[in-house]
Amino acid sequence: MKKIAVTLMSALIAGPVLAAPDWSKVPAVKVPLFYPGQSGLEWVLIKKDHSAANQILEKKRACVKCHDTDAVEIGDKIVAGKPVGNERKPLDNAVPKGKAGSIPVTVQAAHDGNKLYLRFEWDTPKAGGGVKMDPKNDMKLTVMFDDSKVEYADRGGCWATCHQDLRGMSDANDAGAKGHAKAKELGWGDGVTKYLKESRTGLSVTGNTRGGWDKLKSDAEIEAALKEGKFMDVIQFRSKDKARDGYILDARHMDGGKSLIKADGKKSGKHWTVVFERTLAAGGKGDHTIAAGKLYNIGFAIHDDNADGRFHQVSLGYTLGLDNAAADFSAVKQ
């Protein structure tokens, strides 16, 4: 991916939404967000399913190095019910009616030494006409990033949080999750939500049941991982509900963070513009400090057409840095 030099400008864009830098002077890049189907981390890591598994495991090669140019094609194949990778069958047998294979999104970033700004623009695909899973929010935009401490986040981005035994995935055990002693605490009312390998005692990559939803580490171990920064920081814009600031570790916790100042969105016709404004400093539980001289693994997801759960379009994993020429997105202070 072409490196992005991001410059902060002091002027503000007119209008109620874009109270941020002069985006007309900030370089932008189009990132393909594509429909992933039921391809969890375990699917990615096993060669019988994913031909490039050894590139990830042995060479630690980022997915974007191979798929930055064909992500759109992959998404189109999955929504059309065509096999991808080494699969002999469709990767998803429950694709929502009319689901778009991909969404091209323009991403920009800037910082002023105290705050980070992230701006996203895209045109909404034609509505599919299927079931409205989230009747209230016709769109949600999620950003997640880690402090280079989560295994596989440097290669697969948000795939580090996605597993074959999550709700809606091929090896889900919704009944078991709902009956678990910690179901209420972890938000498993509808089944297992996203989690990290760092919160489990084991993770099965092969076999009839892949993942590790029920192999929770102790509360003390999970709290220690949180303090060590082994979590994914998550911020989310919702078209109707309030924005969320949380994290992913033992489960998806959509509250607790305090670094997100605001997330503003505006839709004009079919065109969406969303701007996140966040402190560089960590403000609450599950917030990462964003400091100069470091790389952060970052990924994006859009729940379009009232989608929910796994039925989103997602980006591959990229890197964000402040004044860092090695980053995919280098936010340069001026």
Q: 264-285 pLDDT, tens per residue?
A: 999 999 999 999 999 999 999 9
Residues 282-285: contacts with CB within 8 Å, 24+ apart?
A: 283/257, 283/258, 283/259, 284/245, 284/256, 284/257, 284/258, 284/259, 285/226, 285/247, 285/256, 285/257
- With a cut of 60, say whether residue 187 has pLDDT above it: yes
What is the reported pTM?
0.92
Q: How far apart are CA 170 and CA 318, in angstroms?
A: 27
The C-alpha R_g of the chain, in whole angstroms, comes to 19
Per DSSP, 197 falls in state G
- Residue 59: CB partners within 8 Å, gap ≥ 6? none
Q: 242-264 pLDDT, tens per residue?
A: 999 999 999 999 999 999 999 99
What's the confidence (pLDDT) of residue 20? 59
- Helix (H/G/I), strand (E/B), else coil: 215: coil
- Provide the token pair at 64: 């974007």
Q: How far apart are CA 100 and CA 162, in angstroms?
A: 20
| pLDDT, the chain, mean | 91
- Structural domains of the chain sorted by starting position, each given as residue range(s) with its CATH number in brackets: 4-332 (2.60.40.1190)
| Residue type (1 letter), 264 | D
Confidence of residue 12 (pLDDT cuts 50, 70, 90): very low
Q: What is the mean pLDDT of residues 70-87?
A: 91
Nearest residue to 103 via CA among 329, 321, 312, 322: 312
What's the confidence (pLDDT) of residue 15? 38
What's the confidence (pLDDT) of residue 17? 46
Q: How far apart are CA 296 and CA 154, in angstroms?
A: 8
- With a cut of 80, say whether residue 4 has pLDDT above it: no
Q: How far apart are CA 95 and CA 33, in angstroms?
A: 16
Q: What is the mean pLDDT of residues 219-243?
A: 98
- H or E element at residue 33: strand 29-34
| Residue type (1 letter), 250 | D
Residue 113 vs residues 10, 164, 279, 334: alpha-carbon distances, Å: 12, 40, 9, 9
- With a cut of 50, say whether residue 303 has pLDDT above it: yes
Q: How far apart are CA 23 and CA 29, in angstroms?
A: 12
| Residue type (1 letter), 300 | F
- Provide the token pair at 97: 């009616």
Share of the chain above pLDDT 90, in %: 79
What's the confidence (pLDDT) of residue 334? 59
Q: How far apart are CA 259 and CA 246, in angstroms?
A: 10
User: Residue 121 in contact with residue 266, Cβ under 8 Å?
Assistant: no
Q: How far apart are CA 246 and CA 254, in angstroms?
A: 4
User: Residue 237 in contact with residue 265, Cβ under 8 Å?
Assistant: yes
- With a cut of 80, say whether residue 314 has pLDDT above it: yes
Q: What is the mean pLDDT of residues 9-31?
A: 61
What's the confidence (pLDDT) of residue 107? 93
- With a cut of 80, say whether residue 18 has pLDDT above it: no
Q: How far apart are CA 238 and CA 216, in angstroms?
A: 30
- With a cut of 90, say whether residue 324 has pLDDT above it: no
